[in-house]
A = this chain, B = another copy of it.
């Protein structure tokens, strides 16, 4: 995609989430209150377990996208220079809702990946067991829908229930692809679109909608979220084979030992010789690992510049996200979103 004519390429926004964090800060404090309030239950274990995960934080990307969408909608109806402050309550509920959906999937992922793969991490699953994690995940999912219902907007419910179904479709598809390094890039992109990008898109679009945005701004936020989500996931997957594993909060090599098929592996497989392909089959497919295999994997990936090429793909998705913002015009909001997109693929810049 050629973004040379896009006004936003003129922006010198650095790759950072700071702009979004700063614009969202007042509302995010309220979102955190909603989260705490809606985690409440007469059954003490529920807020205890959910709180362990949700309080641990993370970047709060999805609720932030909802708030940014709402801000974009509000800005559209006001004098652009006058930064809007009043985010409607429904946007706060939606922001909490998408964070609940995300955390429900994390709880269930922890149950699924319970084997040695996440060693040393105090997951909810490790602390309270499978049963509690599955059930509290279900609880968060149900609460997410209660929060959406409180907006009274059936179109938003349609959007987010459909996104929820697609998340699980993406995860089942990812599971089916496990151990198959000959998977197509198309299938990989379908997996990450479903499991990650669709929720980013729905979060941003739903926020715009409750913020009173016009159809073009709603669509722009959807397209931005979709490309941003892909950039995030590709980058995340690429960096699992990268050097900055500490910053990712997970161990480098996790995906390798899980037999999870991500972009670097697919690229290396497609360009690989018979010996390299045998290596990927023995490890990823047959789960037969020997000392030094992770090192060998890195060597093969380096030979084909596979991580670098995946990060370039993430960068092009980030550029698509930025291009999608054209209808928003130049503002503090669009600058923050541009910085956010660059952050999503920051290692590529």
Contact = CB atoms under 8 A, between A and B. Distances in A.
Given A131-B112, A146-B161, A164-B142, A46 B172 contact: yes
A83 interface: no
A169 interface: yes
A143 interface: yes
A154 interface: yes
A138 interface: yes
Interface in A158-207: 158, 161-162, 164-165, 167-169, 171-173, 175-176
Interface stretch (A37-45, A246-254, A337-345): A37-45
Given A42-B169, A43-B176, A176-B43, A161 B142 contact: yes
Nearest to A42: B169
A135 B168 contact: yes
A146 B165 contact: yes
Contacts of A112: 130-131, 134-135
A41 B145 contact: no
B175 A138 contact: no
B161 A145 contact: yes
Given A41-B169, A142-B168, A134 B162 contact: no
Contact of A172 (B139, B161, B169): B139
Interface string A43-83: 11110000000000000000000000000000000000000
A139 B169 contact: yes
Nearest to A131: B112
Interface in A111-156: 111-112, 130-132, 134-139, 141-143, 145-146, 148-149, 152, 154
A199 to B, nearest CB: 11
A111 B130 contact: yes
Contacts of A13: none
B42 A135 contact: no
Contacts of A145: 145, 157, 161, 164
A135 B175 contact: yes
Contact of A175 (B132, B154, B171): B132
A188 B149 CA distance: 30
A54 to B, nearest CB: 16
Given A146-B158, A157-B157, A46 B135 contact: no
A135 B45 contact: no
Contact of A136 (B42, B130, B137, B168): B168
Contacts of A43: 169, 172-173, 176
A346 interface: no
A222 interface: no
Given A157-B145, A169-B46, A111 B139 contact: no
Give 6 nearest A-B pairs by CB, closest first: A142-B164, A142-B165, A145-B161, A139-B168, A112-B131, A138-B168
Given A111-B134, A131-B175, A149-B158, 4 more contacts: A112-B135, A132-B172, A145-B164, A154-B154
